Amino acid sequence: MADNKYDIAGQDASFDAMRYLRMVGERKTLFVSIALLIMFAAVVISYMLPRKYEARSIVFIEQNVISDLVKGIAVTPSMDTKIKAIKVTMLSRNMLSQVIKALDLDVSLKNNISLDEMIKSLRGRIAIGLDEKRGVFDIRFADSNPVLARDVVNTLTRVYIEESVSTKRKESFEATRFLADQIDVFKKRIDEARKEIEDFNIASGKVLASNEYVVRNQIEKAQEQIKEIQIQINALEASRKVLLSNSPARARLREQEQVRNQMLARYTESHPRVKQLESAIAETRRQIREEGNDELSIIYSSPEYQNVKVHIQALETQKKNLEEDIAQNKAILDQIPRAQAQLQELKRKEQNEVIIYEKLVSRYGQSEVSKEMELQDKAVSFRVLDPAVIPTIPSSPNRPLIMLAGIAIGFGVAFGVVFLLDIIDPSIKNVDDLREFGIPVLAVIPKLKNVEEERKASRRSLRIYLIGAVGLLIVLAFLGMEFLGIGLVDKVIEKSMAVVRQWRM
């Protein structure tokens, strides 16, 4: 249709900006008033908010003495845990109450409860940041009174360092004392070890002194001797038996038996001669039975027999002695390795104690030196890199930021309201809306110009825009002042407050 050939510039994406501008233009009064209201509210708020000054000190931490001293001997807590402990220590009740006392903050306090409150509030407001990489921590505190802020930070830093230095002193004293104690202990232990070795030596000296080879030789020799003695004993025993069987009755019996044996070779047993002999033998035997003892005692008391007997006895004793020796030697042989191992063990123990003892002794010397250094303050483990100074620029409120945010939010909200109104507004805003109804658009007639009215309207809109621009400029001026840190407004406020106070007086 030729009727619908009106293309609408507002529909084009490139004209979106134009559309928004038009929206603003239609409701410029609203837009400017909202934007300015929010901006000025932000400015006022930024001046109304209580000023806070933040003081900050930076402290450098060095490695702890004791950890160097007992490195490799004892396990000490790591740097990280130490740094973490700093935070806890710093915000401890003891520290904070010391700070409060040092700064006479407790003058106005009534009782312990309010002191607790104060400590709690301080704890909440003191910020401790740790930079573990650089081994640095910083203490920050913000207050409306810049001097107080500085004092709190510096006092806390001082108190903490004093505390930690004194504890370090104590630590190094304790370290030396600990080392001394340990040295004593180890000395005792070494002595004990040595005594043990001595005792052992005394207890099993024989075993330890004897040579295994020699002992074995001795055993062999003794065994040979025993053999020889045994032979002698056997010979003597034989001669003793000979002596015993040499009584007359027995000799007769032996002869008779010999004869009988010869006879038996020739005759049977029932031979009369044999029988005769048999009875003679029996007779002899009876004789021996009846009179043998008398005969034996005669033999016993004979000097030969006595001689043999004594000889045998002596040899027996010798043999017994030798056997005992062997047994003893065998026992010794068993004991030798065990005893030597035990001795080795004891010696090693003593050696260990000695090594630690020597280390401790050398460390003790070091610790003496470091203690001296501590006492002369040559080894400081805390160094205040940056003591807090009186902050001149308040840390909060961040006025430039609040103002900038005010400007941004002002424009944003104003535009948002305009945009919303535009969206809410159900009226037909362009020709396209008509197309939905299926009515051909025959003509699009622009606003008919009324020169007078137009002039009025443009003057009015110019005035509105001017007001907006001036307002924005004023806000920007405030912003610039704050940005450059010119405290002009604060001075004016202070002066006017003073004037008001005077009036009230």
**Please, what is the minimum distance in Å from the beta carbon of residue 469 to another protein?**
22
- The smaller minimum CB distance to another protein, of residues 72 and 446, is found at 446
- The smaller minimum CB distance to another protein, of residues 2 and 13, is found at 2
**Please, what is the minimum distance in Å from the beta carbon of residue 467 to another protein?**
23
- What's 103's DSSP letter? T
Question: From CA 473, how far away is CA 419, in angstroms rounded?
Answer: 25
Q: Write out the residues near another protein by the rule CB under 8 A.
A: 2-3, 7-10, 15, 18-19, 22, 26, 425-431, 433-434, 436-437, 439-451
Q: At 173, phi and psi to the nearest 5? A: -60, -50
Measured CA angle at 187 (ends 181, 191), to 5 deg = 150
Q: At 56, phi and psi to the nearest 5? A: -150, 135
**Please, what is the minimum distance in Å from the beta carbon of residue 446 to another protein?**
5
Cβ contact 374:65 at 8 Å? yes
User: Token pair of 69, please?
Assistant: 């001293």
User: Token pair of 102, please?
Assistant: 């040092």
**Please, what is the minimum distance in Å from the beta carbon of residue 412 to another protein?**
22
Question: From CA 326, how far away is CA 351, in angstroms rounded?
Answer: 38
**Please, what is the minimum distance in Å from the beta carbon of residue 407 to another protein?**
27
**Please, what is the minimum distance in Å from the beta carbon of residue 42 to another protein?**
32
Question: From CA 56, how far away is CA 395, in angstroms rounded?
Answer: 11
- The smaller minimum CB distance to another protein, of residues 369 and 444, is found at 444
- What's 485's DSSP letter? T
- The smaller minimum CB distance to another protein, of residues 1 and 265, is found at 1
- The smaller minimum CB distance to another protein, of residues 336 and 431, is found at 431
**Please, what is the minimum distance in Å from the beta carbon of residue 398 to another protein?**
40
Cβ contact 259:277 at 8 Å? yes
**Please, what is the minimum distance in Å from the beta carbon of residue 416 to another protein?**
20
**Please, what is the minimum distance in Å from the beta carbon of residue 15 to another protein?**
7
**Please, what is the minimum distance in Å from the beta carbon of residue 460 to another protein?**
17
- The smaller minimum CB distance to another protein, of residues 75 and 451, is found at 451
- The smaller minimum CB distance to another protein, of residues 131 and 453, is found at 453
Cα dihedral angle (23, 28, 29, 35), rounded to 10 degrees? 100
As to burial, measured by CB atoms within 10 angstroms (0-12 exposed, 13-18 middle, 19+ buried), residue 143 is buried
Per-residue HEC secondary structure of 113-155 comes to HHHHHHHHHHHHHCEEEEECCCCEEEEEEEECCHHHHHHHHHH
- The smaller minimum CB distance to another protein, of residues 377 and 452, is found at 452
User: Token pair of 403, please?
Assistant: 């103002």
- The smaller minimum CB distance to another protein, of residues 10 and 337, is found at 10
Measured CA angle at 463 (ends 460, 464), to 5 deg = 90
What's at 449, amino acid-wise?
Answer: K
- The smaller minimum CB distance to another protein, of residues 9 and 310, is found at 9
Q: What is the CA radius of gyration of the chain?
A: 62
As to burial, measured by CB atoms within 10 angstroms (0-12 exposed, 13-18 middle, 19+ buried), residue 39 is buried
> Edge to edge, what strands does the sheet with 127-131 contain?
127-131, 136-143, 53-61, 382-386
**Please, what is the minimum distance in Å from the beta carbon of residue 422 to another protein?**
10
Question: From CA 468, how far away is CA 29, in angstroms rounded?
Answer: 9
- The smaller minimum CB distance to another protein, of residues 11 and 496, is found at 11
